[in-house]
Amino acid sequence: MTETPVRLLESLSRRDSALWVKHDDRTNPLYGGNKVRKIERLLEHAKRSGKTSLVTIGALGSHHVLATGIFGAAAGFLVEAVVVPQPSTPHVLEMLRADLARGIRLFPAATLAEASLLLAARIARGRYFIPLGGSNELGASGYVEAAHELAGQVARGELPEPDLVVVPMGSGGTAAGLAAGFASLGLRTRVLAVTVTEPPWLLERSLRRLTARLAGSHARDAQSRLETTRSYLGGGYGLITQEGDRAALSASQVGLHLEPTYTAKAFAAALDRVALGRERTILYWHTFSSAPMAPLLEGAPEDAAIDPKLLRLARRSNPPR
């Protein structure tokens, strides 16, 4: 894992509150984003288990499924994924095409109950199981290490010690690992986890549990520095919001490319916190790959050649207002 850079976003900062970005979009030149730090550890463990194939689960446009497919295949695994519905956006369909181009075997499930049955059947056939978002203790420990990486950058004077890190929260591994890491390091940095998935109560509960397990003797400290907000979820998981769209436009002016499900919503939260001016240094942790998609889409099937059961998982996007 090479260190990802940090950068001050001067034009989006205010006098009382500086906005920085941590470039985890560049965790890997082939495919970046936050799944890379988690999948590395999970694949090492899968190798040690002696298994030759893996199965994971995610929404239709899941970055985690694509990352598992890319890095799993590179490590010599056959990769399978059970996929569940997600509101349709051009980005979601692009992820689906990339999954198919990378040779991932996709199993469509219309409901979570169906997904559980499919998963159980694949695991019974000897697949190594990688959980949603790669967010078990082992996967999320990649973000404990990322907290150490940031502490090193602070120590070397590359950025001031952040008062707040803002990160989108899906399966929770990223926010949990960072909060646990900051607590064990004794940094003052707090974590704002922007809830973008549903049901929020369930994911927030598993975020708290994972944080405590990762932090060990620092569990209370880690919990107390973790803040969650549902204010940016809008109509629900994967649905576009106006605040998100506006935030994505601001981001594009400083060279950051956001997608609507996670990063647009988290960046909107970061901009609001800058406007509040309560924290001197705010670090937006950028979790979405900025690697070019063209090489990953090479050989992707035309829509007409895609299993209609998969395409039916692309649910109608924003309901009419």
Residues that bind ligand PLP (CB under 6 A): 33-34, 63-64, 133, 135, 168-175, 262-263, 287-288
∠ CA 262-160-276 to the nearest 5 degrees? 55
Strand order in the sheet with 105-108: 105-108, 78-84, 53-59, 128-130
Tokens, residue 28: 């890997």
Smallest distance, ligand PLP to C-beta of residue 9, A: 18
Distance in angstroms (rounded) separating the CA atoms of residues 172 and 135: 7
Residue nearest to ligand PLP (CB): 170
Q: Which residues lie closer than 8 Å to 147 by C-beta, 6 or more apart?
A: 177, 178, 180, 181, 182, 184, 185, 187
Smallest distance, ligand PLP to C-beta of residue 45, A: 17
State the Rg of the chain over Cα: 19
Smallest distance, ligand PLP to C-beta of residue 162, A: 18
Q: Residue 60: is it exposed, middle or buried by C-beta count within 10 angstroms (0-12/13-18/19+)? A: buried
Distance in angstroms (rounded) separating the CA atoms of residues 143 and 140: 5
Nearest residue to 192 via CA among 231, 150, 160: 231
Distance in angstroms (rounded) separating the CA atoms of residues 20 and 24: 13
Smallest distance, ligand PLP to C-beta of residue 62, A: 7
Which CB atom, from 257 or from 278, has the smaller least distance to ligand PLP?
Answer: 257
Query: Is residue 141 within 8 Å of 103, Cβ to Cβ?
Result: no
Smallest distance, ligand PLP to C-beta of residue 132, A: 8
Which CB atom, from 108 or from 134, has the smaller least distance to ligand PLP?
Answer: 134
Helix axes 173-185, 200-215, angle to 10 degrees: 30
